[in-house]
Amino acid sequence: MKNTITARTIDSVGWGLLLIWCGIAFLAGVGWPVGLLGVGLIMIIGQAARKYFDYKVDGFGLALGICLVVAGAFRALSIPLGAIANWIIPALLIVAGFAILVSTWKHRYGD
């Protein structure tokens, strides 16, 4: 029997849940710790669903989900991350964003 759940379906459900969660988090005013935990968990669950249905797990999505859960947990528990975290986390996010844009550009135009 062919699997009727596609990777695209999993991604669509994940995006839908992510947007719903963000809307709820903003309306309820839950704050950054709970917001980050929720987004990270949705991303991790999406990758777990991909694995369960025998689709390729997106390593970047999984790593980002784990980072968001850890960041949310640290904020929720008021664990100080130190001065380095004040610039390293945003810097890593910016570098990751540029890496995605460059890889998309290279893939699109065959450089």
Integer Cα distance of 25 and 103 in angstroms: 32
Angle between helix axes 85-109 and 59-76 (nearest 10 degrees) is 160
Map out the domains of the chain as residue ranges: 1-79, 83-111
For residue 45, count CB atoms less than 10 angstroms from its CB and return exposed for 0-12, middle for 13-18, buried for 19 or more: middle
50-77 tens-digit pLDDT: 999 999 998 888 888 988 888 888 888 8
20-61 tens-digit pLDDT: 999 999 999 999 889 999 999 999 999 999 999 999 998 888
Integer Cα distance of 109 and 49 in angstroms: 32
User: Can you give the pLDDT at residue 1?
Assistant: 42
Amino acid identity of residue 24, one-letter, is: I
Integer Cα distance of 48 and 62 in angstroms: 9
User: Can you give the pLDDT at residue 79?
Assistant: 76
pLDDT at 104 exceeding the cut of 50: yes
Q: Is the dihedral of CA 67, 70, 73, 74 positive or negative?
A: negative
* Whole-Å CA distances, 108 to 53, 100, 101, 103: 28, 12, 10, 8
